[in-house]
């Protein structure tokens, strides 16, 4: 008879495969919270054959999904749940007991395959189905249960979660950007800031926006720099399409909270809204403001290019509102409790 996996485990494979492929069909935070909870409950059964199978399966699954917890879900409680379960399993493993031949531990652990392996390894029926599907012999299957193999997975997953915890919730040091963005007299080189934030391929949008926010909050912004620093913050938020973690969002939110939203004006249009909503167009608009001789081309029409229009408090308010909407969207999109996003 062809071995079959329990129906709920087939559903789990589907749910986790969507998550590790970055196309979840369920709420990832809920699904991964349940996974971590079930893994923690299995710790009580490690002394039984069932519990040993579960230790293998859950360690593999926590390893397969830890990158998503680290990079996509900004939840302190979920990170803590993963760390607790991984530490619990790790405490029961003795890597020195490994007697496997060199090179016999599983290595082809792409995320979707590892999800199938992990779920399959949870039960006898699942193991049989997994072995048949992938033509795995008994020796290869036994390597998944090796203490040395599992300890290595647990160690790597735990290190990834702990490193990400600091990056997502701790203090981010962007002081090294002072050397790039501050002139000798202490003024801000807005053109240099814009050159940096434009290089999105360097994954520097968040750090540049955070540097701008902290400079803004420090009060060390001259009147003529204020607009450039504000637009750099705004661009950093608008161009972080996947959302930045709380370690960035806290200061960005605080900076936007300094803008007075209760203002009006009689202007029919403002300069920023005439620039196309692209990185290049916004970049050209700001560079023309701060270095018009070097950057004569601007997407802003001449009749809207006056500094008074640029500095209109209503434009600041409009942009601050849109930025705050984006910031709130990050919290909804990336999960976590409200206090996870607060200072």
Q: Answer yes or no: do 73 and 124 share one domain.
A: yes
Q: Answer yes or no: do 120 and 193 share one domain.
A: no
Among 15-24, 244-253, 294-303, the minimum mean pLDDT is found in 294-303
Q: How many CA atoms lie within 13 A of 56 on its CB side?
A: 25
| Domain termination site, one of 169, 200, 225 | 169
Q: Answer yes or no: do 180 and 159 share one domain.
A: no
Q: Is residue 115 part of a domain?
A: yes
Sign, CA torsion 285/287/293/295:
negative
Q: Answer yes or no: do 259 and 196 share one domain.
A: yes
Q: CA-CA distance, 62 to 89, in Å (whole number)?
A: 11
| Domain termination site, one of 118, 141, 169 | 169
Residue 6: pLDDT above 70?
A: yes
Q: Is residue 128 part of a domain?
A: yes
Tell me which H or E stretch contains 250: helix 246-256
Confidence of residue 85 (pLDDT cuts 50, 70, 90): very high
The 8-class DSSP code of residue 300 comes to S
pLDDT digits over 163-193, tens only? 999 999 999 999 999 999 999 998 999 999 9
Q: Answer yes or no: do 330 and 227 share one domain.
A: yes
Q: Is residue 2 part of a domain?
A: no
- Residues near 195 by Cβ (< 8 Å), separated by ≥ 6? none
Q: Answer yes or no: do 317 and 223 share one domain.
A: yes
Q: Is residue 276 part of a domain?
A: yes
DSSP 227-284: HHHHHHHHHHHHT-TT---HHHHHHHHHHHTTS--------S--GGGGS-SSHHHHHH
Q: Answer yes or no: do 196 and 153 share one domain.
A: no
pLDDT digits over 122-165, tens only? 999 999 999 999 999 989 899 999 999 999 999 999 999 999 99
Q: Answer yes or no: do 160 and 193 share one domain.
A: no
| Residue 60 buriedness (CB in 10 A; 0-12 / 13-18 / 19+) | buried
Q: How many CA atoms lie within 13 A of 315 on its CB side?
A: 19
Q: Answer yes or no: do 180 and 144 share one domain.
A: no
Sign, CA torsion 301/307/309/315:
positive
In this prediction, residue 1 carries a pLDDT of: 60
| Domain termination site, one of 119, 136, 169 | 169
- 182 forms bridges with which residues in the sheet? 188
Q: Answer yes or no: do 120 and 180 share one domain.
A: no
Q: CA-CA distance, 256 to 272, in Å (whole number)?
A: 17
Q: CA-CA distance, 229 to 249, in Å (whole number)?
A: 16
Residue 109: pLDDT above 90?
A: no
Give residue 109's domain range: 7-169
Q: Is residue 41 part of a domain?
A: yes
Q: Is residue 310 part of a domain?
A: yes
Provide the number of structural domains found in the chain.
2
Confidence of residue 201 (pLDDT cuts 50, 70, 90): confident
Q: Answer yes or no: do 34 and 133 share one domain.
A: yes
Average pLDDT, the chain: 94
Q: Is residue 273 part of a domain?
A: yes
The 8-class DSSP code of residue 101 comes to P
Question: Span 288-305, mean pLDDT?
Answer: 92
The number of angstroms, rounded, from the C-alpha of 283 to the middle of its chain's C-alpha atoms is: 25
Q: Is residue 1 part of a domain?
A: no
In this prediction, residue 111 carries a pLDDT of: 79
Question: With contact defined as beta carbons under 8 Å apart, do 59 and 119 qualify?
Answer: no
| Token pair in block for residue 211 | 């540097």
Q: Answer yes or no: do 93 and 158 share one domain.
A: yes
């Amino acid at each position: 008879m062809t071995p079959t996996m329990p129906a709920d485990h087939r559903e789990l494979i589907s749910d986790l495969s969507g998550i590790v492929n970055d196309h979840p069909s369920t709420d990832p935070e809920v699904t991964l919270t349940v996974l971590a909870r079930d893994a923690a409950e299995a710790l009580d059964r490690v002394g039984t054959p069932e519990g040993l199978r579960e230790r293998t399966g859950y360690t593999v699954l926590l390893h397969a999904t830890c990158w998503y917890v680290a990079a996509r879900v900004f939840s302190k409680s979920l990170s803590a749940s993963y760390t607790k379960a991984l530490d619990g399993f790790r405490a029961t493993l003795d890597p020195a007991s490994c007697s496997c031949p060199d090179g016999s531990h599983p290595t082809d652990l792409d995320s979707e395959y590892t999800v199938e392996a992990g779920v399959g390894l949870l039960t006898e029926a699942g193991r049989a189905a997994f072995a048949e599907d992938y033509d795995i012999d008994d020796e290869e299957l036994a390597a998944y249960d090796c203490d040395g193999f599992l300890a290595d997975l647990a160690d790597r997953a735990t290190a990834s979660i702990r490193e990400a915890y600091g990056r997502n919730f701790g203090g981010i040091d962007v002081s090294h950007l002072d050397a790039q963005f501050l002139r000798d007299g202490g003024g801000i080189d807005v053109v240099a800031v814009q050159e940096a934030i434009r290089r999105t391929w360097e994954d520097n949008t968040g750090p540049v926006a955070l540097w701008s926010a902290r400079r803004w909050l420090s009060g060390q912004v001259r009147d003529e720099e204020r607009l450039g620093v504000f637009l750099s913050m705004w661009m950093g938020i608008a161009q972080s399409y996947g959302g930045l973690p709380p370690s960035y969002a806290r200061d960005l939110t605080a900076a936007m909270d300094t803008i007075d939203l209760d203002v009006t004006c009689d202007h029919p249009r403002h300069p920023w809204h005439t620039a196309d909503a692209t990185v290049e167009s916004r970049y050209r608009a700001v560079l023309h403001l701060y270095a018009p001789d070097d950057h004569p081309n601007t997407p802003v029409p001449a009749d809207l290019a006056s500094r008074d229009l640029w500095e209109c408090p209503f434009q600041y308010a409009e942009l601050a509102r849109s930025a705050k909407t984006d910031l709130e969207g990050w919290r909804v999109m990336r999960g976590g409790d409200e206090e996870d996003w607060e200072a």
